Amino acid sequence: MEMRPLGRTGVQVSKLCLGTMMFGDWGTKDHDESIKIIHRALDAGINFVDTADVYSQGESEEIVGKALRGRRDDIVLATKFFMPFDDDPNHRGGSRRWIMRSVEDSLRRLGTDHIDLYQVHRWDPAVDLDETLGALTDLVRAGKIRYFGHSTYPASTIVEAQWVAEKRGRERFVTEQPPYNILVRNIENEVLPVAQRYGLGVIPYSPLAGGWLSGRYRKDSQDGPMSEARKRLAARFDLSLPENQRKLDAAEQLARLADDAGLTLVQLAIAFVLRHPAITAPIIGPRTMDHLESQLAAADVELSADVLDRIDAIVPPGLTINPAENGWVSPSLQPSARRR
């Protein structure tokens, strides 16, 4: 599989990254089956694996750790911290206190002495960027992590974080992990140009829009999300919402386009994300072996200019059909803020 540079780190990663959110209680509960899927991905040439401490409350990290035994040195291993683990307000976020505890827990679950890419799962404007950068810099210098990145940071915060790192003598963020697919194109407006300007690797999640671009959801079906992970995201999957009906309309048009191009909808969707020059490696998130095989088949697909133009006619550049899928939303845009 083709290798691509991870930003300006000098590290080379496969053009597809294996995401493991669906391994464990949120998806495939059988550990042995999950490990088989991971091994198949590695055998296919994937050397980049992404997980998070919150996925199935740490179970995904445990599965990944077992799967990588004997192969760890050949894998670029990424995980994330930030999301709440319980009701304790200190068991979450980007504080030094929580980062130092989270990294030790992740190292233990993953069965490794270092993490290649440690990522902040979300931005919290209530936490000083220098607080987070200082803790992550100390972890790099202690050898517990090699690099660090962020996920769903708005463009203005990406710039601010780079400035704070330079001003305070910290290590800098080297990657961004945003949502990106044909139905969710908001990051084309600012995030991707800013990432290119600062030389960040971009490893977008949900290239299949959580299944919307796999053919799973159809206009004549009322079936909603089946997995525990999807049930946690009702705003994105409730078929009664008008914005999700618009996603169905777009997905059906895209399915016809894929058929005209001699591709599956899965291949069209992943190839679209791979095509953008700012993208390093989209994160595929299979739950079954069949899912993985269908997604691996997209790795070498090249979309013609005509196909790309037809995609733009269905979902214009920079548009997200359902804004709930943009990742981070400014607190000032929340209904509670508008009422004050």
Residue of 55, 118, 205, 217 marked catalytic: 55
pLDDT of residue 226 exceeding 80, the answer is no
What is the predicted pLDDT for the residue at 229?
A: 52
2 close to 299: Cβ distance less than 8 angstroms = yes
Considering the chain, what is the average pLDDT of its residues? Answer: 92
Q: Which of 77-81, 104-108, 331-335 has the lowest mean pLDDT?
A: 331-335
**Is 84 or 218 the better-scoring residue by pLDDT?**
84
Query: What does the pLDDT look like over 182-204, one tens digit per residue?
Result: 999 999 999 999 999 999 999 99
What's the pLDDT score for residue 228? 54
Q: Rounded mean pLDDT of 25-53?
A: 97
pLDDT beyond 60 at 339: no
129/224: higher pLDDT? 129
Q: 254: how many CB neighbours lie within 10 A of its CB?
A: 23
pLDDT at 267 over 80: yes
- The pLDDT of 106-120, averaged and rounded, is 98
Q: Which pLDDT score is estimated for 329?
A: 74
- pLDDT at residue 217, as a whole number: 72
Is residue 58 over pLDDT 90? yes
- pLDDT for 337: 52
For residue 231, name the pLDDT band (cuts at 50, 70, 90): low
Q: Evaluate if residue 77 carries a pLDDT over 60.
A: yes
Calpha distance 272→260 (Å, rounded): 15
- The reply to whether 147 belongs to the active site is no
Tell whether the model's pLDDT for residue 280 goes beyond 90.
yes
41 or 215: which leads in pLDDT: 41
Position with higher pLDDT, 269 vs 327: 269
Judge whether 4 and 13 are in contact, CB under 8 Å. yes
The per-residue pLDDT for 340 is: 53
Q: Which two tokens stand for residue 150?
A: 């962020």
Q: In terms of DSSP bridges, do strands 145-151 and 115-120 run parallel, antiparallel, or are they unpaired?
A: parallel
Tens-place pLDDT, residues 285-297: 999 999 999 999 9
Read out DSSP for 79-115?
EEE-S-SSS-TTSSSS-HHHHHHHHHHHHHHHT-S-E
Q: Specify the pLDDT at position 335.
A: 59
Burial, 326: exposed, middle or buried (Cβ in 10 Å; 0-12, 13-18, 19+)? middle
Average pLDDT over residues 37-58: 97
